[in-house]
Structure 1
């Protein structure tokens, strides 16, 4: 299966290196020629969970160089969300007959691309792999996570199984007949854990101990879940049951304990984006929930306010601070959440 991985950051680098180490030929696409030259000289090195390995990277080039007639059976999009949205229409032209684009970003990227390019072109996916790029070409796998693939319209398919098996030579890959539900399950936690931690500048365990932090977590999660249900998605269990028990009940406290056990001490990836001056993916996480909510008539004042605060931090008008939680909560309450 001729495979092009677009984006050689943490996730793309690990999948590409491990797939090549398993004996497959893999083509890699970078943002520019300088990045490609650097990786060609250094190769790819992976450490951490799954074992250490090093491979050469002879087939690496800027993404534009592949647009002149290459044909691939599989294009894995491992870029940031906005980059995936921008580049995918161009990559559609280099697919072999029956070829597939596989976006592995958080949030609504798979659905957005499937709506634009067609479900026959886009196969849905998400990643639970913890990965870090120490420097270009040097990666650490942080957990024994997996990729999840499936048809966005539900059910099973031969192509999903074929791609699961192929990429499974590199990392664990699971298939699901409810990929849309899995995407929403992760999206609920991204909205109410990752983004809130980012704007607070804290891990979840710290901010949820405050009255404002706990209240905003509850509001954001329940608001996002209402949108998921209105969209027709059936969120499925991942680390926790996505259907949270009613607020102010012992069952809710036990459920929150499960969330904290899985995510309470992790540094939010979006907070790392702030610190490194990188664009965030908030428009495809909380912003996506708000967009879907508008289409289905579900108010999303908490998610709307969170998006505004994230953009303000990105512009340098705010800094990550627990006071942001208070401001977002107050704004959502004024809107009646």
Structure 2
């Protein structure tokens, strides 16, 4: 199949480059962020790719603005920030065709409803990816972890198997995205959201790597578990079953922090230190809203949402140090 990735950020570049390089597929990029598009064009339509800050090299890409794009992909892959998606969809909408499928594997919640404004339910796939990636700068991506590290899960909105899903699974496996299939749509999406409600938000507030959170010996039981319990209470009240149990989720936080990606700075941290708004409203805030809609409470989720927003405001008084910047890394 032919794929078009909308959003040439960390995850968009990782998916697109792996599909292009490992699976040998026809991949194009649509980049709505003008500064990013200009930077990649200035690099002769090439992006820098490295792994764990090593082996940096340039890879050619086919990249366009939403307005100039004329391709006809089988699958659109959306990797935008939640707050950017609505405007991007309006700009790309004239290019959409009835036979095309939209895949949303973005952080947080809110994107599926936006995709439904343009695509039939039969042509919407939701996904989650446990694949650590860092965008050093526009057009400069760093794949974290060993080759083939990470995993991803995909579900059709209809929760019915399809030919497109079958081919996508084959293509993504060839691209080292380690995909699996789920027939539980909301459970699939919320598994990643609930994980991010712990790791992303807490690491961002304390400007830490995931592994550094474990320096507090009560992190799992004193911080992670209360947030996870509230999230699961909200899901159960809404009639949603997760892919993992509560204990499994706590164990996943432990494993990712200690073993899988201890050196990783999550995407919310990357936005935070670069002065951008975070997606906390679409993660912790969304969970708190889900709880309240279903007559349960999630005070810890609401409190964390407000603390992240407070940290955003405090940047004007205490500018964060971007520990991903080359000048910081070189000084260490």
TM-score greater than 0.5 by the shorter chain:
yes
Q: Deviations over 1:108-161 (max 9, x none)?
A: 244433554442342111111111223333322213113321113424222222
2:327 is matched with none
Q: CA deviation at 1:297?
A: 1.6
Question: For residues 47-86 of structure 1, what are the structure 2 equivalents within 5 Å?
Answer: 47-48=50-51, 54-57=58-61, 59-66=62-69, 70-86=71-87
Q: TM-score, normalised by structure 1?
A: 0.77
Q: Give me the whole-angstrom Cα distance separating, in 1, the residues matched to 2:39 and 2:304.
A: 38
Q: Deviations over 1:243-283 (max 9, x none)?
A: 239xxxxxxxxx85663232254544423322221221111
Q: CA deviation at 1:304?
A: 1.4
2:226 is matched with 219
* Closer/same/farther in 2, CA of residues 256 and 100 from structure 1, 3 Å limit: closer
1:175 is matched with 181
Question: For residues 1-337 of structure 1, what are the structure 2 equivalents within 5 Å?
Answer: 1-21=1-21, 22-40=23-41, 41-48=44-51, 54-57=58-61, 59-66=62-69, 70-113=71-114, 116-117=117-118, 118-143=120-145, 144-172=149-177, 173-202=179-208, 203-207=212-216, 209=218, 214-237=221-244, 242-244=245-247, 256=250, 259-264=253-258, 265=262, 266-316=264-314
* Closer/same/farther in 2, CA of residues 286 and 86 from structure 1, 3 Å limit: farther
Of residues 147-156 and 199-208 in structure 1, the stretch that sits farther from structure 2 once superposed is: 199-208
User: CA RMSD for the aligned pairs?
Assistant: 3.1
* Closer/same/farther in 2, CA of residues 180 and 165 from structure 1, 3 Å limit: same
Runs of 4+ residues over 4 Å off in structure 1: 51-54, 114-118, 255-258, 317-321
Q: CA deviation at 1:20?
A: 2.5
Q: Which secondary structure state, in structure 2, belongs to the residue aligned with residue 97 of structure 1?
A: coil
* Closer/same/farther in 2, CA of residues 115 and 56 from structure 1, 3 Å limit: closer
2:330 is matched with none
Q: Which secondary structure state, in structure 2, belongs to the residue aligned with residue 292 of structure 1?
A: helix
Contact 2:9 2:79 in 1 (8 A): yes
Q: Deviations over 1:289-335 (max 9, x none)?
A: 122222222212211121112112212278799xxxxxxxxxxxxxx
* Closer/same/farther in 2, CA of residues 226 and 120 from structure 1, 3 Å limit: same
Q: Which secondary structure state, in structure 2, belongs to the residue aligned with residue 184 of structure 1?
A: helix
State which structure, 1 or 2, has the greater radius of gyration over its C-alpha atoms: 1
Contact 1:149 1:176 in 2 (8 A): yes
Q: Give me the whole-angstrom Cα distance separating, in 1, the residues matched to 2:30 and 2:251.
A: 41
Q: TM-score, normalised by structure 2?
A: 0.78
Structure 2, unaligned runs of 5 or more: 321-332
* Closer/same/farther in 2, CA of residues 214 and 85 from structure 1, 3 Å limit: farther
Contact 2:225 2:250 in 1 (8 A): no
Q: Which secondary structure state, in structure 2, belongs to the residue aligned with residue 148 of structure 1?
A: strand
Contact 1:73 1:95 in 2 (8 A): no
Structure 1, unaligned runs of 5 or more: 246-254, 322-337
